[in-house]
Structure 1
Amino acid sequence: MKKAIFILLIYLITACQQKPERKLTIAVAANMQFAMKELSKTFTDQTGIACDLIISSSGKLTAQIKEGAPFDVFVSADIKYPKELFDTGFAIKAPKIYGYGKLVMWSMIDTIDPSLETLKSSKIHHIAIANPKMAPYGLATIEILKRHNLYENVKDKLVYGESVLQTNQFIISKSAEIGFTSKSVVLSPEMSNKGNWIDIKDTDYSAIAQGVVILNQNNQENAEKFYDFLSSADARRILENFGYLTKEK
């Protein structure tokens, strides 16, 4: 009996000395806002590691990281920014591509049927896009407009969101009659079946290869768990449900 009590005490002391899993702070590109909620919940359910999500444009998050923001992981809307951070010593492990984003055209106005031709219509006064200087989805939008010889016709109608998140706000509030956003937004439970949207042919813009990178060596073990999780079957299923491709066509 005494031996059993002694073993129990040793177990309790050891358990109390074990460090709790440290929370992850994840910088997340705005196009991933909805998908990341489900991804982080699944990750936490599987590992017990809680996640704080910081949502903004990839460009702005990169600037914050360079200024010393205490993020553990950066989930970008492209691979350029993660590579830049790794090449300049702000990341401790080479980035990898976790998925490929897709663009849609979206309107919350019932009488508007989204199409590239519609952008030239006199009833379209504002076209919402993410800032191409900060957000890869905005850069892809400019590429589409120029490819279809529309940019010069509609450039004065363009209103720029700091990120996909703000671009969505322009569209949802109808401040812009139409706009370009990530397919993951219109497929999210929060936005599903709201407004009218169409896919943009992915051959009309360069592949939006989205990368993840580990930043903080002080929380590297947990960060690597999340980094690896994004390549798991569960993560791929979630990403595909939100309209992302998990391998390049």
Structure 2
Amino acid sequence: MKKLITLIFLLIGAVSPTLSQALRVAVAANAQFVIGALQADFKQKTGIEMETIIGSSGKLTAQIKNGAPYDFFLSADMEFPNQLFKDGFGLTEVKEYASGSLIICSIDALDLKNWQQILLQSKISKVAIANPSLAPYGKATEQALRHYKLWDKVNDKLVFGESISQVNTYITTGSVSLGFTTEALIHEYKSKDKLNWERLDSKVYGKIRQGMLVLRYARNRNFEKAMKFYDYLSSASAKQLLKKYGYQVP
């Protein structure tokens, strides 16, 4: 009997660390604001703790391929998670959980309704965009600028951020005259009344469909928790929060 009790305690000791591990979620920088609200709501509903790692979708994808211990991926597009799934890094099909809006934004007193003309003014010397090869919002910005035949005209003014989070810092600190970013910034920035912004026509860039993927690292660690979060992001509660932060939901 004593041996049996000892064995039970040993098993509990071996299992409990796994059970107590927080769900590790890699989050594209565009969702850095809304993820806090989703995280709190998810914990309230399930009791599950979550740890978030913020970065550009491209950089997070590279980290996952190099063995980063992430259970879940929230990308700013569908391409990166689909690539991961194709290469064997996913346990679920990639699913769209939201789509984003691209805006042009500045803390300067600029009338951005005519932003195409403003970009060409000599007083506008620095324009922030996310790196198109790493961040889907940067890719969308390049598409929009090329649509208006502005890419080559303003290329020498462009300041590339590693992620949309870095672009937001450039904009809100006044390091640049203006920048292209996610509409989610407007719904979270504490001094939002100081921001001048204009939403770009969604027809001039590809739809920013944002995908989610349960990663294979979760298989022996947090699979049940990851699947609960996967289902949660399609719930009415999560969709309401996403809409509040400027996203469209499927």
Task: Give the TM-score normalised by structure 1.
Answer: 0.89
In the alignment, what sits opposite 1:185?
185
Matched, 1:245 2:248: yes
Q: Pairwise mapping of residues 1-249 of structure 1 onto structure 2 (< 5 A)?
A: 19=16, 20-110=19-109, 112-114=110-112, 115-188=115-188, 190=190, 192-215=192-215, 216-218=218-220, 219-247=222-250
What is the CA-CA distance between 1:21 and the residue it aligns to? Answer: 4.9
Q: Distance in 2 between matches of 1:121 and 1:80?
A: 35
Secondary structure of 2:134's aligned partner: coil
- What's the CA shift for 1:203? 1.1
Deviations 1:50-92 (CA, angstroms, capped at 9, x unpaired): 1111000000000000010000100000010110011100111
Answer yes or no: is the 8 Å Cα contact 1:22–1:49 preserved in 2: no
Structure 2: segments with no counterpart, 5+ residues: 1-8
Q: Distance in 1 between matches of 2:192 and 2:171?
A: 14
CA deviation map 1:173-207 (0-9, x unaligned): 21110000000111115353231011111111110
Q: Percent identity between the aligned chains?
A: 43
- For 1:141 and 1:105, the matched residues in 2 are separated by 9
In the alignment of these two chains, the number of paired residues is 232
Pairwise CA distance, 1:38: 0.4
- Paired letter, 2:239: R
| 1:27-53 Cα shifts (integer Å, max 9, x gaps) | 000000001110111001110001111
Superimposed CA distance per residue, residues 125-179 of structure 1 (whole angstroms, 9 cap, x where no aligned partner):
0000000010000000000001011111111100000000001111112111000
Q: In 2, are the aligned partners of 1:30 and 1:57 still within 8 Å (CA)?
A: yes
Supply the distance in 2 between the matched residues of 1:103 and 1:66 (Cα, whole angstroms). 28
Q: Which residue is 2:6 aligned to? A: none
Separation of aligned partners in 1, 2:120 and 2:249: 34
TM-score (norm 2): 0.89
Instruction: Work out whether residues 103 and 183 of structure 1, in 8 Å CA contact, stay in contact via their aligned partners in 2.
Output: yes
**1-structure distance, mates of 2:214, 2:194:** 35
How far apart in 2 are the matches of 1:217 and 1:227?
14
CA distance in 1, matches of 2:197, 2:155: 21
Which of 164-173 and 188-197 deviates more?
Answer: 188-197
Deviating more after overlay: 58-67 vs 184-193? 184-193
Task: Please tell me whether the aligned partners of residues 21 and 49 of structure 1 are also in contact (alpha carbons under 8 angstroms).
Answer: no
